Structure 1
């Protein structure tokens, strides 16, 4: 009797330890880990905000600076258009080669280590124009900016997306990408607003200060991110069976260093794009959408300057409208719509509205039309976070940097073709030698590119969840 009581007591004592207590302990561990990840993500968002503010602050002023340095007292400057297009093509070509490499190296050595380089390099061009905007200083800026941008913008975006993917589970990843995009849009708003009220000289000085602050803040506060293998849905370089939740918990308690792989070859990257229909279609969508974005960068400001004689202040006003709208869409609207509609439908919606808006933009018949269309252009902010979330769910945590780098490379390849195609087209239709009068013809072609991306996006299917083994931070 006494023995049975002891045995029963032992079984009752062991049951909570083996089941309920373990479950409570695991949830507690995950809750603490989730709070730590939120803090780390906040440091990344601050870094992205400071860096983005510095980058976007100079955007409204750089067109006037370029035209003034190359073609004083003129509204139309073909040399400025061609130099801008050439710079974008060179940086795109360099980014095609560097972003996949940077992304893959970040999988091995950490996002923070690789993020240091582009943040530090972005300081130098701003310092040059902070000193002077004369022709000689402009050419010095042009050369340095071209070289630093090769490992600049695309690498920062790629590494930021990979960092978020490291810290956020699949269930919340699309919303997290949207928040990251929203913070970037908020930096766009703040930078543009500052440019609107600062003089040109002071604009570049303040931008250089923000750029320095972003690099220093990142080095001091951002935690490194190195991933030990996790739940892999379709790993490109699969090394072993994907562990279930219990194995992942035990792995996170183990402090052993991560296992590194050899860098992927070109065949691996091609195999990645062919690994599923969603990958290949997402790559096509990414290319044509980036082609449209790149074409707008080299054409729309010069179109507005020629058509309506817009200057820095008008550019800043338009950018503020787009930036505020994009921030609200990504921070407030996207987290609500993702659980209801899914990333695939949001992607199609953003591309369709963007295509129609760009086509109407090319027909602008009065100076108020670009302002009115600014309300519709904000839905284009849904595109990039949706694509990033779709491709991120296809691979495991240890391959996020490589995948984001691969798609950044695709985007950069479009940025090579866009200026080579649309720079001469824009210059032609803004000149007196145009075959017919249609100043916005190149912008109309960009709307067609977005429509092609929209048609492809319709066929992207949602990735089915893995019910047996899935790692999600909830």
Structure 2
């Protein structure tokens, strides 16, 4: 007991650093969102159609780099430790933003996006770091904090980027570079190593440090593989929002930039409350499996509400439901980490990140084309919300897989009843049976 308490300050400081790292990384990426298409447009001679085409290609390439390099970074962190991989990624991102800020031609910007995709694959290492330093019973809450960091970065980032873009289309890239390099210096001074040498992988195996090798690793753990597929389905479903939210709300409700901005701010606030506050309170009380399944059901209800909403008020009611879907991600992540040896956490997280990055590549195309098809003249039925209903069907499939994969899941030690805790034996038996 004393040993655990002695490591508590280090553990808290490490989790705080990873939280700040992820938030600043997402903030840096969020800053360039409003201006990146305009920079591409400037480099392609001002033609909007050409700029949109190249922006889409670069977005897909970014996802492809994450798909390829997430397992590599995860395996490197298993072999050499989490700290050097996280720091190297932060440093590379800082230099890459400088490269893009100075780019005068499309090929240089293209190279910049390739490097961004490679460096941002360090999210897998950040997730492994959390598994290293956080007790099993608190991992869901820690992963919820990471989810909140994502949300904060993507709320503040685009707003700040829009302001800076009014000054100069390149200003957001310089600020993003400063944030990434400041994050590197912060980590250099503060971040401890989370994976002791005696717990590291004996060697770096290139055969497994690739997407196919990573997926083979997941297949060794059937429960983990099923939950990783759930993770992928949820990530894929979210791209209905990324790809069609602005166009859908304009088409259905005639929303302009101001209304969209308010709605997205509401999404961020609600998600932050769920991820940072509710997860760590609900998991100790109800257990990981019930909270995970409840999150999936909330996601199902949220997407159905968005897809069938007849007016903007009902549409807005779907946002809190989608925010509550955030209960599912951290709990799924926590359950997965419990099934794999500490020396393989980096490869595990790399495999999951690689799998979910496929959503980055294919999600925008699938949902934007679904939306376009069902509002077009040749559609079998006029259904503007078809993309959201497709997401709902993916979430439903994820719920079924998640339910089956976690039948019989043993609860965490912290969830088990102790003498005098007032928990009824019947309830304890029910939890033991999953």
**Structure 1 length normalisation: TM-score?**
0.73
Q: CA deviation at 1:224?
A: 2.8
Aligned length: 406
2:21 maps to what in 1? 47
Aligned match of 1:189: 155
Within a 5 Å distance, the mapping from 1:421-460 to structure 2 comes to 421-429=366-374, 436-460=381-405
Distance 1:68 1:374 in 2: 35
Q: Distance in 1 between matches of 2:52 and 2:304?
A: 21
Residue 199 of structure 1: how far off its partner (Å):
5.5
1:464 paired with 2:430, answer no
1:131, distance to aligned residue in structure 2 (A) = 7.3
Match among 180, 184, 188 for residue 219 of structure 1: 188
Note the C-alpha offset of 1:337.
0.7
Query: Which whole-Å CA distance do the structure 1 matches of 2:130 and 2:303 have between them?
Result: 31
Determine whether 1:113 maps to 2:84: yes
Displacement of 1:379: 1.4
Q: Which has the larger radius of gyration?
A: 1
Q: Relative to 1, partners in 2 of residues 1:114 and 1:58: Cα closer, same or farther, differing over 3 Å?
A: same
Q: Where does residue 151 of structure 1 map in the other structure?
A: 118
Matches within 5 A, 1:166-205: 166-192=132-158, 194=160, 200-201=166-167, 204=172
Query: For residue 302 of structure 2, what is the aligned residue in structure 1?
Result: 357
Q: 2:202 aligns with which of 240, 246, 260?
A: 260
Deviations 1:75-94, CA, capped at 9 Å, x for gaps? xx776665554334333333
In structure 2, distance between residues paired with 1:369 and 1:222: 45
User: Is the Cα–Cα contact under 8 Å of residues 195 and 316 in structure 1 kept in the other structure?
Assistant: no
- Rate the CA distance shift 1:121–1:359 in 2: closer, same or farther, 3 A: farther
Structure 2 counterparts to residues 73-472 of structure 1, below 5 A: 83-123=54-94, 139=106, 143-144=110-111, 146-153=113-120, 155-192=121-158, 194=160, 200-201=166-167, 204=172, 206-228=175-197, 260-263=202-205, 265-266=207-208, 269-270=214-215, 272-308=217-253, 310-429=255-374, 436-461=381-406, 463-464=409-410
- Please give the alpha-carbon distance, in whole angstroms, between the structure 2 residues aligned to 1:111 and 1:297: 31
TM-aligned CA deviation for residue 410 of structure 1: 1.1
Q: Tell me if structure 1 keeps the 8 A contact 2:227–2:402.
A: yes
Provide the aligned C-alpha RMSD in A.
3.5
Deviation at 1:333, TM superposition (A): 0.8
Q: Matches of 1:215 and 1:300 in 2, distance apart?
A: 34
Match of 1:255 in 2: none
- Superposed CA offset, 1:88-146 (max 9, x none): 433333322211111011111122221234333434675577679xxx77x56862453
Q: Distance in 1 between matches of 2:192 and 2:388?
A: 42
More off after superposition, 263-272 vs 92-101: 263-272
Give 1 or 2: higher helix fraction: 2
Q: Deviations for 1:57-92, whole angstroms, at most 9, x for unmatched residues?
A: 34456678778998989xxx7766655543343333
Higher mean alpha-carbon deviation, 362-371 vs 335-344, is at 362-371
Q: Name the CA distance, whole Å, in 2 between partners of 1:374 and 1:60.
A: 23
TM-score of the superposed pair, with normalisation by structure 2: 0.79
Question: For 1:78 and 1:429, how far apart are their aligned partners in 2?
Answer: 22
Distance 1:71 1:262, change over 3 A: closer
Moved more, 409-418 or 122-131: 122-131
Distance 2:370 2:42 in 1: 22
